[in-house]
Amino acid sequence: MNKELQKRILSSLILIPIALFFIIKGSTFFILFLLILFLISSSEWLNMTKKLELKLLGIFFLIFSFYSTFYIREAGLMSFLLVMIICITTDLGGYIFGKLFKGPKLIKISPNKTYSGMLGSFLLSIVASYLFATMYDLISTFNNIYIGNFEFIILIFIISSISQIGDLIISYFKRISKIKNTGKIFPGHGGMLDRIDGMIFVFPSLYLLDKF
């Protein structure tokens, strides 16, 4: 096990319980948690981008993203946790399958991304989501999509796809800024935006899906 992976595991063991505490508590605790994440993410974005219009656009997007995150959490804890599981396992599946099977590169803007990693992201997110939904007897998710229906797999596929696209978008901005990570706050993980790059695109998308 290399040092980078060791740091990732150790950081995750510390970060996941803390995040779960605030997510499960909800209300004022969760608002405080989101505010901290927003301030760190905004700082990283402002440091990463040079153009004023991009700085402003990014901040407005982050405001909408974190508001959407709060909205989805208020709509239901278990549905929120399901989305988190899809995003986390999408990232984890891409990392594990990409390291194990390697293969052709997916896109130039993120040289570590592979087709095997992309398929692993979809596979692990679908398996983990079904296990979670079945374990906690979740009947439906968003817009009355039931876990027994094919639409549930489509929903997971869409969320996982958006999460991966979000990862690529942040990778693009890191590439043009000539930096490896958005920050150094998490050993082995990089910055805040490195960890939540997929989620900040997923929650606004779900908010719009729920509204329209």
In this prediction the pTM is 0.90
pLDDT at position 5: 60
Residue 1 has pLDDT above 60, yes or no: no
Residue 8 has pLDDT above 80, yes or no: no
Report which of 147, 117, 146, 150 is spatially closest to residue 132, judged by C-alpha positions: 147
More confident residue, 6 or 47: 47
Half-sphere exposure of 118 (CA within 13 A, CB side): 18
Question: Band of the pLDDT at 145, cuts 50, 70, 90?
Answer: confident
Domain boundaries, the chain: 3-211
Question: Residue range 161-190: average pLDDT?
Answer: 88
Phi, psi of 90 (to 5 degrees): -65, -45
d(CA 79, CA 74): 10
Question: Band of the pLDDT at 188, cuts 50, 70, 90?
Answer: low
pLDDT at position 10: 73
Question: Residue range 56-78: average pLDDT?
Answer: 96
Contacts with 130 (C-beta within 8 Å, 6 or more apart), sequence order: 147
37: tokens are 């994440």
Tens digit of each residue's pLDDT (9 = 90 or more) over 91-131:
989 988 988 888 888 887 777 788 999 999 999 999 999 99
pLDDT at position 14: 78
pLDDT at position 9: 67
Which DSSP state fits 210? Answer: H
150-154: long-range contacts (C-beta < 8 A, 24 or more apart)? 153/126
pLDDT at position 109: 78
User: Would you tell me how many other CB atoms lie within 10 Å of the CB of residue 100?
Assistant: 11
